[in-house]
Amino acid sequence: MSLREKAGQLLVVAFSGTEAPVQLIDALHPGGLIYFSDNLASDSQIAALSAAAQRAARAVGPPLLITTDQEGGEITRLPGTEGVPGGADFHGDATAARATAVSTGRLMSRLGINTDLAPDADVDTVVGGIIGPRSFGSQPGVVSRLVHAQICGYHAGGVAATAKHFPGHGSTTTDSHLRTAVVTESAATWRRVDLPPFEEAVRSGVDVILVGHLAVPALDPSGRPATISPLLNEDLLRKQLRFKGVVMTDALNMGGITSWGSSGTVAVESLGAGSDMLLMPVDPYAAVDAVVAAVQDGRISMARLNASVERVLSLKARLGLFGGQPRLTQC
């Protein structure tokens, strides 16, 4: 792969319409696509869309991670799934949470979607919090148990699972779509409350951890959000949690990160902080250009870029996208 093709593998891009974005795939060679409700009309249309997108990707490089946010509850993308439970709807019932994840995974697999941006691993600890009922509850033990159940369920259903929003969005009322959310907890409280579900996700073999536009001054006094904070990203996820999977940013078109710089600046800083995949940069072409330039001038080493590309390709291999059966962790 060329340097530019490697940089493209870091991207997860959105698109308009209900047909495969063939020109975008040809130009960028992205690592993944993300579907939203506006892209999805019916099961047959979604399956055709996924097949066409994969054909376009395979014609120029590796197959795609095709992702969507299908948490259940108030966050559903697939048509006809508006009544699927999620988060607080389970009332701590891990059996029901696992069964729902299995059925969701099977549906996604039939539609050619291979990665769910779920489950939500946030612990809801504040009245009026922005996560609210998307969380499995207010107790870290309950959330951890249901995170484990859903990761196992998604894998049984044939799709990769994503724990979000690291380092924990459950204690803030700030919407990170608008501005960087600041978690004001002490380090001790964060470790006791917010960390356990993510530790459980890693133990359960989660494939992706999504880092939020969340600052935790007790852990990184600079005030930088986890998206671009080596202390909250690389140090915590890789070194302390020993997570070996894909680290994905939350959407880079959100106000919680666009205030920190341009698409190119944020792309380079996210990669430098420890992220592997860049979700929805405002200008994906500028993001690729910036990563290429950063490698060429030595700000990002080729070894660092290769490590991220290898993690992305490894996930695709475990999903069976290069042939053979999926090899997702079963539990």
Inter-residue contact 239 to 161 (CB < 8 Å): no
- According to the model, what pLDDT value does residue 98 have? 98
Closest by CA to 226, choosing from 282, 164, 173, 285, is: 164
The predicted model scores a pTM of: 0.97
Low-confidence ranges of the chain (pLDDT < 50): none
Give the model's pLDDT for residue 190: 97
Q: What domains appear along the chain, each with residue ranges and CATH number?
A: 14-318 (3.20.20.300)
- Tokens describing residue 84: 């699927």
User: Is there a contact between 175 and 214 (Cβ–Cβ < 8 Å)?
Assistant: no
Please state the φ and ψ torsions of residue 28, each to the nearest 5 degrees: -105, -20
| pLDDT the model gives residue 175 | 86
- Token readout for 27 is 């130009």
- Other Cβ atoms less than 10 A from the Cβ of 188: the count is 9
Active site (catalytic) residues: 177, 250
pLDDT of residue 325: 86
